[in-house]
Amino acid sequence: MSDTGIGASVKRKEDFRFLTGQGRYTDDINRPGQLYAYFVRSPHAHAKIKGINKAEAEKSPGVRAVFIGADMEADNVGSLPCGWVVTDRHGDPHKAPPHFPLARDKVRYVGDHVAVVIAETYAQAKEAGETVEVDYEELPAAATLGTALSSSAPLVHDEAPGNLCYDWVLGDEAEADAAFAKAAHITKVDLVNNRLIPNAMEPRAAIGEYDGGTDSYTLYSTSQNPHLLKLILCAFVLGLSENKLRVIAPDVGGGFGSKIFCYAEETVCTWAAKKVRAPVKWTGDRSEAFTSDAHGRDHITHAQLAMDENGKFLGMKVETTANMGAYLSSFATSIPTYLYATLLAGQYTTPVIYVNVKSAFTNTAPVDAYRGAGRPEATYVVERLVEVAAREMNIDPAEIRRRNFIKPEQFPYQTPVALQYDIGDYDASMTKALEMIDYDGFPARKAASEAKGKLRGIGFSAYIEACGIAPSAVVGSLGAGVGLWESAQVRFNATGTVSVFTGTHSHGQGHETTFSQLVADTLGLPIENVEVVHGDTGSIPMGMGTYGSRSLAVGGSAISKACDKIIEKSKKIAAHLMEASVDDVEFDKGTFRVKGTDKEKSIAEIAFTAYVPHNYPEDLEPGLDETAFYDPLNFTYPSGVHIAEVEIDPATGMTEIVDWVAVDDFGNVINPMVVEGQVHGGIAQGVGQAMLERAVYDDGGQLLTGSYMDYCMPRADNLPSFRVGMTQTACTHNPLGVKGCGEAGAIAAPAATINAITNALGILSMDMPATPEKVWRLANQHAQAAE
């Protein structure tokens, strides 16, 4: 392994610009003559719009235009679509009420978009916005998931009776009932997967621009998938020719799913740029992010696990109600179905699983993918069930997992919930994690804590995820409106340097480094000779963007394929130059050699020849520039075991995470430093969910946690340093043998944390987040019970 090749912790190429203040985020971009947009938003969770008087706003200083829903309707602007059709238990598609970028007759959540004011300065737009008079007739709100599906709940959409988006099932209920009938023990849990607000540190922003000379648009946007945004805006919303919109997603300050979706603000900025004949810039503030970024999670679940007398799992039944919010965000419907229910087998051989998911409309912000997207919710169900089962059956929590793990020789393994796992070694991860945490030493550590008046607990989470999203044919058969392949273009420049164009998008993941390593290693080039370009639909082949831990597994595989094509073509040129048969030319570390001779040509010489083809094969095109599209054959299945150890002060309810061991199997690893960083960040978000974060709406639909004063973000002093280990089973079906690492921490951590805290408290269950108040109450209840 070279110090910059595959497997090396190469320092990141992107860091210099970020560390010196030279990153270029959307709000850092200013276009000549640009105007500023301010959105007038609904203060009500549910109301009829009886009238809008914008006359005073239009006369305000600096204001160029004020637009409302009727203006967009007049231009035939469509609804923001949901790109995944879920078919319900009766064979009908999910309810898909329209979602207009500016509300037309009704507002349906606090923060819903009512009007946009466009002015010469942002302050002018905002001040004028306060003078837009909206005549609302307030309506009762269905703000709470727990009651949204009841017959007495106010109706969010006339198109969705009972607020039901779909009632969906997976698995055979009768088979599950039969398995439960044979059970020696049944464990039951009731779980709330708390609603979260993604909170990427860079708020969303957009600049729409229109060029009258070519009748074309440019949109700068904080997007994780600029091509997808372009496709949705052109084909579904604005009715533009796709060759007339260029979307640029420059440096993006974190996404975690929330920047996948097509939002109202960027739609309005693009549309309005033509109306006002000037670039229109909108930069969200944090308050707007809280109310109108798509939120995550928000499930209520009742789950049961049937076991024989040895704790062998016989069957599982899960009933979940999931919140869609007021409108369907771009992929909302797929999250609590295909990205959730299909993961409920976990790492175990549970032979029968039956899942019923009902998704509900509520008068709250839309809910969609947030780091992990369905898989953290599934892992929380499985790993809470297993932990409670272990406690009820009095079996060691590591042991009950081991008894039920899928064994290495059982792969490929078909689960009862549609997925076929290709490879894994769950016991290896468990063994390594137990060693790292010194499981045998736990009783002594617990006793030492007790001597200090503290309660110590240990918690496990053995997770699996389906990543590398995804095989197009599979997701298509399940209702996805897009294919989920990825593209790459590898372009040699004449002087031997390489530009790599990827359809994935980096917003913190370090693609510029990892992909450079991959290309430099494959083509035998110095890493500094490779440049990775992403985020501009004007220069990159159509690609699907970054989410679902797919960038390396799918995008990296496309790069690998493109490199193969480069080598294949180069061999022909090399054979010509060295007057040998192509079959006799070998390639290794950047050099082509004729077998059994000392003839050789560097790949840089070949590139030069390809662009200056004076002496060149007759039947070959000049140039060395190859594009590849890669459609994965299966999902990838990263897995692992996380173990958390906590110490609780029963006097204050304060919980300290005193140790955290993460052992993950991500398959082959290109850059361990980057991978470990992804694990750290994921754990922090998972611990945030377990201990700190919770989005709360009151019964009237007002968001009570609308700023960092009330929504608790993980800070440095909430977290420990993490200990990260790896095991490896290479993915069997992509050329790199990689699986994906971006979401693992967020998937594993909530269950590990709650299992540790409940272990410390000597109880079976508690709801997230485990705040000091809740822990204090439980600790003291526990103390009383122990007396």
Binding site for other proteins (CB under 8 A): 11-12, 14-25, 27-28, 123, 127, 199-203, 251-254, 256, 285-287, 507-510, 652, 673-674, 676-677, 680-685, 692, 705, 707-719, 721-722, 745, 771-772
**CB 20 to other proteins: min, Å:** 6
Q: Other CB atoms closer than 10 Å to residue 765's CB: what's the count?
A: 14
Residue with Cβ nearer other proteins (187 or 283): 283
Residue with Cβ nearer other proteins (716 or 785): 716
How far is the CA of 753 from the CAs of 193, 370, 642, 685, 720, in angstroms? 14, 19, 9, 12, 13
Residue with Cβ nearer other proteins (199 or 330): 199
Q: At 615, list the tokens.
A: 């002496």
> Helix 744-761 crosses helix 672-687 at what angle (to 10 degrees)?
50
Residue tagged 């390594």 (tokens): 432
Residue with Cβ nearer other proteins (34 or 591): 34
- Residue 499 CB contacts under 8 Å (≥ 6 apart), including other chains: 490, 491, 493, 531, 533
Residue with Cβ nearer other proteins (19 or 612): 19
**CB 574 to other proteins: min, Å:** 38
Residue with Cβ nearer other proteins (331 or 660): 660
Residue with Cβ nearer other proteins (470 or 724): 724
Distance in angstroms between the alpha carbons of the first and the last residue of the chain: 60
**Burial class, 291, CB count within 10 angstroms (exposed 0-12 / middle 13-18 / buried 19+):** buried
> Helix 375-393 crosses helix 397-404 at what angle (to 10 degrees)?
110
Q: At 156, list the tokens.
A: 């969010």
Residue tagged 């963007």 (tokens): 545
Residue with Cβ nearer other proteins (171 or 742): 742
Residue with Cβ nearer other proteins (36 or 354): 36
Identify residue 330 by its one-letter amino acid code.
S
Residue with Cβ nearer other proteins (88 or 645): 645
**CB 508 to other proteins: min, Å:** 3
For residue 190, list its beta bridge partners: 302
User: Does residue 520 contact residue 530 with C-beta atoms inside 8 Å?
Assistant: yes
Identify residue 276 by its one-letter amino acid code.
V
**CB 672 to other proteins: min, Å:** 10
Residue with Cβ nearer other proteins (36 or 592): 36
Residue with Cβ nearer other proteins (326 or 695): 695
**CB 573 to other proteins: min, Å:** 38
**CB 710 to other proteins: min, Å:** 5
Q: What number of CA atoms fall less than 13 Å from residue 692's CA on the CB side?
A: 22
Residue with Cβ nearer other proteins (587 or 722): 722
Report d(CA 707, CA 441) in Å as an integer. 42
**CB 9 to other proteins: min, Å:** 8
**CB 701 to other proteins: min, Å:** 21
776-781 contacts at long range (C-beta below 8 A, 24 or more positions apart) = 776/650, 776/652, 776/653, 777/653, 779/455, 779/648, 779/650, 779/653, 780/650
Q: Which of 258, 99, 207, 180 is nearest to 685 (CA)?
A: 258
SS3 618: coil
**CB 211 to other proteins: min, Å:** 24
Residue with Cβ nearer other proteins (231 or 669): 669
User: Does residue 402 contact residue 349 with C-beta atoms inside 8 Å?
Assistant: no
Residue with Cβ nearer other proteins (74 or 716): 716
Between β-strands 654-665 and 723-727, what pairing exists: parallel, antiparallel or unpaired?
parallel
For residue 216, list its beta bridge partners: 211
Residue with Cβ nearer other proteins (673 or 730): 673
Which strands form 313-325's sheet, in the order they lie side by side? Answer: 164-170, 353-361, 313-325, 299-307, 185-193
**CB 635 to other proteins: min, Å:** 24
**CB 757 to other proteins: min, Å:** 15
Report d(CA 131, CA 144) in Å as an integer. 32
**CB 282 to other proteins: min, Å:** 14
Identify residue 419 by its one-letter amino acid code.
L
What is the DSSP annotation of 173-186? Answer: HHHHHHHHHT-SEE
**CB 390 to other proteins: min, Å:** 28
Residue tagged 């739609």 (tokens): 267
- Residue 503 CB contacts under 8 Å (≥ 6 apart), including other chains: 227, 486, 487, 488, 534, 540, 541, 542, 543, 544, 545, 555, 558
Q: What number of CA atoms fall less than 13 Å from residue 356's CA on the CB side?
A: 11
**Burial class, 690, CB count within 10 angstroms (exposed 0-12 / middle 13-18 / buried 19+):** buried
**CB 431 to other proteins: min, Å:** 24
**CB 661 to other proteins: min, Å:** 13
Report d(CA 382, CA 388) in Å as an integer. 10
Between β-strands 185-193 and 205-211, what pairing exists: parallel, antiparallel or unpaired?
unpaired
**CB 691 to other proteins: min, Å:** 8
**CB 682 to other proteins: min, Å:** 8
Residue with Cβ nearer other proteins (575 or 670): 670
